[in-house]
Structure 1
Amino acid sequence: MTELPLVLLHAFPLDSRMWNAVREPLASHLRVITPDQRGLGRSPLPESDREPSLEDAARDVVALLDRLDLDRVVLGGCSMGGYLAMAVLRLAPERVGGLVLIDTKAGPDTPEAAQTRLDVAARVEQEGTETWLAEANLPNLLAASTRERRPELVETVREIIESQPPAGISWTALALRTRPDSLDLLRDSGVPALVVVGEEDPITPIAAASEMAGVMDGATLVVLPEAGHLTPLEDPAGVVEAILSWYPATHESEK
């Protein structure tokens, strides 16, 4: 028996450094791949006249799997990373052997959320990302207890956000606002699934996690106490335990 590699896709407006605390513990058991998504972290934003779309970001992930000669993987993502994992599932279901959906949801943006993304794209193009972007996001990204008791983690998240290229933030915000509803996609996926959510997540709350887990046969739902929207940073041990306890084993011939 061998286990499929695990690809973890990061949240917005961060990059793959958000996986730092879980990468090594997972990598002692699994092959773990944590790419930066287009325009964020160290990943360039390709020149294109196309409207921003998660489908293009999904093509990036499939291209990465091709370069690494990986036929199938377990695909995981936190928040936006979950949206992107669902986009990959829609684009290339044969490449997805399992799903790890962390602090994310299947539904599309509400009109209010879509407008907020437009506003973010416009402001970041004018002002960059320093100061305001982190301040605007931190109250929703981290649980109140985290913000009060763990100032070093707050600063880590702030530094990651403020280091993002404005063009990448703008592109991603515009791509996220047009994503489709993916509940039926998950219902029909037929792959093993783990859904993890922070008990204090205000963006994608327990109800959204329960909805996803409820439509996927045999899905496992794990709620992590005293954690908000960024559970891999707030409770890395809980995320690692959830993944390793659940992780599906597959035959080499199925890869």
Structure 2
Amino acid sequence: MTIALNARDVGEGIPLVLLHAFPLSSAMWLEQREALVPRFRVITPDLRGFGGSVLGDDEPSIDAMADDVVALLTSKGIERAVIGGLSMGGYVAMALCRRHPERILGMVLADTRAGADPEPVRRTRLRMADQITADGDVNVLVDEVLPRLVGPTTFRQRALVYGRVRGLVRAAPPRAVAWAQRAMAARPESFGVLRGMRVPTLVITGAEDELTTEDDARAMTDALPNAELMIIPRAGHLSAVEQPELFNQAVAEFVSALAGPVESC
């Protein structure tokens, strides 16, 4: 069953839904809300279990997370929206296009990948999920995930940004983190979905992203019939947090161009 997601909904105009990264919450979109609200209706939900959203009892599934987002749109009377997702949010956005293509006006896929997890990555996710469940805390994320969430430039030169990301990781609820790790480990590849998409898509990646690389971004761009690629310099996996001005400018230009009629997925 779907979960009623907690969400911030501010501004007017084209609806822009931004789906957060793992293991953060909609709090990561602070700079996007401030910069984009004067031009668009910006909706930033907490995906199930994170922030102010409950987890529920469903089996771990990215598809379930996508269905939650569609239920949120329906509750707000929104027929179609631009769906943006970063990292895990990108997985949810691609699942949404597979399951509910008629609801998508355009896509922003940031620091994410269309491929399923390679077996070593899948095993690592499941190991972390088991450890977090056993320990009842997210310390393993601080040790193993946090160092790779931002790029070396941010780590060296933006102590406040790194500290903010560290705080968001530490605040992640253990049950939701374990659930999401299992959901991501089980997700299918999405290249077939991308090849069938017709809506415009903006693919973004940080030049210093080690988790989802420029090669991953180019593979998605090549698979999409109507896509453009932006590489953000001096940013790692959380490009929207590390270089918000460049990220916001790219997204604003992309969404503004969707004001005319476009196809569905």
Q: Paired residue for 1:37?
A: 47
Question: Alpha-carbon deviations, 1:61-90, whole Å to 9, x = none?
Answer: 111011111100010000000000001111
Higher relative contact order (CA closer than 8 Å, sequence separation 6+): 1
| Offset of residue 132 of structure 1 | 3.2
Within a 5 Å distance, the mapping from 1:115-130 to structure 2 comes to 115-130=123-138
* Selected match of 1:95 from 100, 103, 112: 103
1:202-232: CA deviation from partner (whole Å, max 9, x where unpaired): 0111111111111222311100111000001
The change in CA–CA distance for 1:253 and 1:186 in structure 2 (over 3 A counts) is closer
1:17 aligns with 2:27: yes
Distance 2:120 2:138 in 1: 24
Percent identity, please: 41
CA offsets 1:121-162 (integer angstroms, 9 cap, x no match): 111112233443223112211001211111211111111111
| Partner of residue 79, structure 2 | 71
Following superposition, which runs of at least 4 residues in structure 1 exceed 6 angstroms of deviation?
A: 252-255
1:215 aligns with one of 217, 223, 237: 223
User: Which of 162, 166, 177 lines up with 1:154 in the alignment?
Assistant: 162
Q: TM-score, normalised by structure 1?
A: 0.94
Q: Which runs of 5+ in 1 are unaligned?
A: none
**1:252 Cα shift?**
8.6
Residue 249 of structure 1 corresponds to 258
Supply the distance in 1 between the matched residues of 2:215 and 2:78 (Cα, whole angstroms). Answer: 34
1:230 corresponds to 2:238: yes
- Tell me which moved more, 67-76 or 122-131: 122-131
Residue 181 of structure 1 corresponds to which residue in structure 2? 189
Give unpaired runs (5+ residues) of structure 2. Answer: 1-11
Q: Figure out how many residues of one structure are paired with residues of the other and give that number.
A: 252
Asked whether the equivalents of residues 52 and 174 of structure 1 are also in contact (C-alpha less than 8 Å), the reply is: yes
1:171 corresponds to 2:189 = no
Contact 1:129–1:163 (8 Å) recurs in 2: no
Deviations 1:169-211 (A, max 9, x none): 0110000001111011011110100001000100111111111
- Aligned residues: CA RMSD: 1.8
